[in-house]
Amino acid sequence: MSSFWNNRISISIFGEAQGPAIGVTVDNLPPGEYIDTDALARFMARRSPKSGAGYRTSGNTMPHVMSGIYNDKTTGTPLCAFLQNVPEKAPQHTELDNLVRPGHADYTGAVRYRGFNDVREGGHFSERLTAPLCFAGAICGQILERRGIYVGAHVYQIHNTKDNPFDPVNITRDAVLSVRMKDFPVINDRKGWMMLEDISKARQGGETLGGIIECAAVNVPAGIGSPIFDGLQNNIAQLIFGIPGVTGLEFGAGFGAARMIGSQNNDPFYVDDHGHVVTKTNNHGGILGGISSGMPITLNVAVKPSPTIAKAQDTVNYHDMSNETLSGAEDHDPCVIAGMVPCVEAAVNIAVLSHMMDYPNFC
């Protein structure tokens, strides 16, 4: 089952964009964990930031919890939550359903599922399915933060404008949290204004913009993860690439390491004033051999421009195999990067918590 992730904690995401509901089942969470519903709601609301540069939402943003939480604490049994979709007013099927939208999964989904998949608003491939992912990740984030582990992200780049990066060696809890509740999640607000100006121009031109999200996890102890196929990087990557629109991922120096020589890329170890083994630099992004080193875990996530644009595009009608022209969208998001920031945090939360379950005395 492609929408099922299992690694100590299991995540199963279900639903289609225009179906009755979308949701998630999370299993193997530790029992007795207090869950702050107000904090959950704030996390979910970040998918649609007030700046307007985020995912569009449909109906309520806070899922209904059906099981797994009682008296505000996890029960240890499967946690199931769903979010009702706004009823579709348009016809259930139109000729437009047979037109494959460039940049979307319409064609590949139709081939994979022999034309029986729900194509409305992208169906199971829609960005709306990030809502249940965010919910699961927000739950995991609260469990981690109670142990002093914090995951945070910000918009690092949109088009040609870059924000200030996190300090890969000395990033702190406060630095992670300081950007979390901003309307537009950047470190340097002036750079954020420049990004918003670019987004406004893209909207006026009927275009969309992509970008990069930088994420960091702080206070993750050394020794979390495993080598080869069950590495911490592997699991983070699996979940990150479950977010629609993600096209690339790098940890630490990432592709920049290819331009270095070994002595530049290696991070010298030393014992700090507190008696901890740390590194002077952090090109390895906090993970060596699939296992955490105790340094901040840092990663960059590349996101493509939203494929829904306000310009006509050439395409095909796969029902009768004719060449067609797809009209431009009347309503489109010029940039969804800001709304994807909590999605990236959620994915990292889930992966880190799954490995922390093996850590001595964690639960």
Return the pLDDT at 96: 60
Q: Which residues have CB under 8 Å from 251's CB, separation 6+? A: 233, 284, 285, 286, 287, 297, 298, 299
The pLDDT tens digits of the residues spanning 112-122 come to 877 777 777 66
- Residue 22, both tokens: 């979308």
Q: Which residue has the higher pLDDT, 144 or 55?
A: 144
Long-range contacts of residues 198-205, Cβ cutoff 8 Å, at least 24 apart: 198/158, 198/159, 198/160, 198/161, 199/53, 199/158, 199/334, 199/335, 200/334, 202/159, 202/334, 202/335, 203/332, 203/334
How confident is the model over 87-114, as a mean pLDDT? 69
pLDDT band at 52 (very low <50, low <70, confident <90, very high): low
Q: Is the pLDDT of residue 91 over 50?
A: no
Return the pLDDT at 321: 83
- Residue 345, both tokens: 């945090």
Q: Residue 214: helix, strand or coil by DSSP? A: strand
Return the pLDDT at 99: 82
Q: Which domains does the chain have, with CATH numbers?
A: 4-356 (3.60.150.10)
**Percent of the chain's residues with pLDDT above 70:** 93
Supply the pTM of this predicted model.
0.92
Q: Residue 175: helix, strand or coil by DSSP? A: helix
User: Cβ atoms within 10 A of the Cβ of 361, count?
Assistant: 4
Tell me which of 97-101, 141-145, 164-168, 238-242 is least confident: 97-101
Q: Which residue has the higher pLDDT, 158 or 102?
A: 158
The Cα-based distances of 215 to 51, 131, 151, 346 in angstroms read 20, 19, 7, 11
Tell me which of 4-13, 63-72, 125-134, 199-208 is least confident: 125-134
Q: Is the dihedral of CA 51, 137, 287, 230 positive or negative?
A: negative
pLDDT band at 92 (very low <50, low <70, confident <90, very high): very low
Mean pLDDT of the chain: 89
Most confident by average pLDDT, 125-139, 318-332, 339-353: 339-353
- How far is 89 from 18, CA to CA, in rounded Å? 10
Q: Burial level of 25, CB count in 10 A (0-12/13-18/19+)?
A: buried
Q: Directed axis angle between helix 337-356 and helix 130-145, to 10°?
A: 50
The pLDDT tens digits of the residues spanning 203-258 come to 999 999 999 999 999 999 999 999 999 999 999 999 999 999 999 999 999 999 99
Most confident by average pLDDT, 86-90, 92-96, 101-105, 173-177: 173-177
How confident is the model over 121-134, as a mean pLDDT? 82
